[in-house]
Structure formats: structure tokens, C-alpha cells
């Protein structure tokens, strides 16, 4: 999956529905130059959160727009960052129109660039990006990047490789208590960074 000269992720691939965007993001590259240190990884696991009618979404109808989730209501192709359990930053790609709070959680990456930087940030040599909190820490993504446009540094979403349907698995979402059976988690089958679906 390695490569060096990449353009922006095609904006049109974030259109057409949040679940479809979550599938298309597999194989794309999330790149960071936070604090002047280059890191990147190939997206290998995602989850779609569909907005007001999705009971697992931070912007479900019973919650509405809040200070925490306001970035979800912004421009398509921006970053929504939140703290999970007050500890772990999680990075999401906004996919809806302005005012339509749909977003895709990036759940796992295959480290591509800056493994030494990632290891220093994570204070370990293994399991650098196999979870949403881990990958955000490895890439230096934090609350200060909430609402950031992913076509500009220091955090960018870049084109990667096309992933054939035969390589893609789907399952219910992980770590939520509502709508757990909705098949909105997408992942590369057999990839070591991907957690096995709970069964």
C-alpha cells in the first residue's frame, strides 16, 4: 500500500450517503504533519454514523446540535474530533451537507510513514494504529483539530488505492449501545490492525 505522490481524496467520494463514504474511505490515506512531524496511514477500518435518525450518533435527534458535536454539522470533508471517555481522541470525516451531521469514524490505519514518531507518541512499538484512540494519538490528532478542513495541513485526507469488494468485510458497529446490529462498520478482511467483530 506504500506510495509517496498522492493527491487529495476525491471530494465526490464523500457524497452519496455516509455508509457509502465509509466504504470508499477504505484504502485512502490519513496524513499528518502535526508539530512538524510527518506521519500517515492507510485507512483499513471505518464506521458510519448517519445523523439525526441514527440512535448511536452523537447528533441523534434526541441530542441535536451541541458544542461537542457542532463540527458534524459543518462542511463535508472536515474533521470531527471528540474525546471518548474523556481520554482518547477520535477522528471522524464529516460526509453530510452543511447542517446534515453525518460522519465516518476512522477506526484503524495501517502505518505508512513516521513509524518512529508514532511509536514515541504511543510509547510502544506495536499496536500503533489499531483503534480510533490509538491512531489519533499516533498521528497527533487532538481537539484543536476539530473542524479542520482535510484538504489542508496539518491533517489531510489523501487518495490511496481502490479496495475491491471481495476484500471488504462489514459488521455491526463496535463500542456503541444503540443500533449495534446496523451493518455500518467496514474493514479490510484479515488485516492485522482490524479487530475481529464481536459475535
Q: What is the DSSP letter of 72?
A: G
Instruction: Give the pLDDT band (50/70/90) at residue 199.
Output: very low
The partner residues of 106 in beta bridges, in order of sequence, read: 46
Residues near 152 by beta carbon (within 8 Å), at least 6 away in sequence: none
Q: Return the percent helix, strand and coil in the chain, to nearest 5.
A: 20, 25, 55
pLDDT digits (tens, 9 = 90+) for 73-97: 999 999 999 998 778 999 999 999 9
Q: Are 105 and 124 in contact (CB under 8 A)?
A: no
Alpha-carbon span 44 to 9, nearest angstrom: 15
CA distances in angstroms from 128 to 45, 50, 110, 132, listed in the order given: 14, 28, 9, 10
Give me the mean pLDDT over the 35-45 stretch.
97
pLDDT the model gives residue 4: 44
Domains of the chain: 11-188 (3.10.300.10)
pLDDT digits (tens, 9 = 90+) for 136-162: 999 999 999 999 999 999 999 999 999
The partner residues of 94 in beta bridges, in order of sequence, read: 103
pLDDT digits (tens, 9 = 90+) for 184-194: 999 999 999 99
The partner residues of 90 in beta bridges, in order of sequence, read: 82
For cell 490492525, the residue is: 193
pLDDT digits (tens, 9 = 90+) for 55-70: 999 989 888 899 999 9
Closest CA to 3 of 41, 43, 46: 41
Helix 115-122 × helix 132-139 angle, to 10°: 110
Amino acid at each position: 500500500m506504500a506510495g509517496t505522490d498522492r493527491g487529495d481524496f476525491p471530494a465526490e467520494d464523500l457524497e452519496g450517503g455516509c455508509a457509502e463514504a465509509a466504504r470508499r474511505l477504505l484504502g485512502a490515506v490519513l496524513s499528518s504533519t502535526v508539530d512538524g512531524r510527518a506521519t500517515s496511514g492507510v485507512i483499513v477500518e471505518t464506521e458510519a454514523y448517519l445523523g439525526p435518525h441514527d440512535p448511536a450518533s452523537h447528533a441523534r435527534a434526541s441530542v441535536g446540535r451541541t458544542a461537542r458535536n457542532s463540527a458534524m454539522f459543518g462542511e463535508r470533508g472536515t474533521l470531527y474530533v471528540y474525546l471518548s471517555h474523556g481520554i482518547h481522541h477520535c477522528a471522524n470525516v464529516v460526509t453530510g451537507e452543511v447542517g446534515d451531521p453525518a460522519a465516518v469514524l476512522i477506526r484503524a490505519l495501517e502505518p505508512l510513514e513516521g513509524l518512529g514518531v508514532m511509536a514515541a507518541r504511543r510509547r510502544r512499538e506495536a499496536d500503533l494504529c489499531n483503534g480510533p484512540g490509538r491512531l489519533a494519538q499516533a498521528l497527533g490528532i487532538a481537539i484543536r483539530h476539530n473542524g479542520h478542513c482535510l484538504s489542508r495541513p496539518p491533517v489531510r485526507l489523501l487518495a490511496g488505492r481502490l479496495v475491491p469488494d471481495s476484500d471488504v468485510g462489514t459488521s455491526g458497529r463496535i463500542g456503541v449501545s444503540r443500533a449495534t446490529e446496523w451493518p455500518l462498520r467496514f474493514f479490510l478482511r484479515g488485516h492485522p490492525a482490524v479487530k475481529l467483530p464481536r459475535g
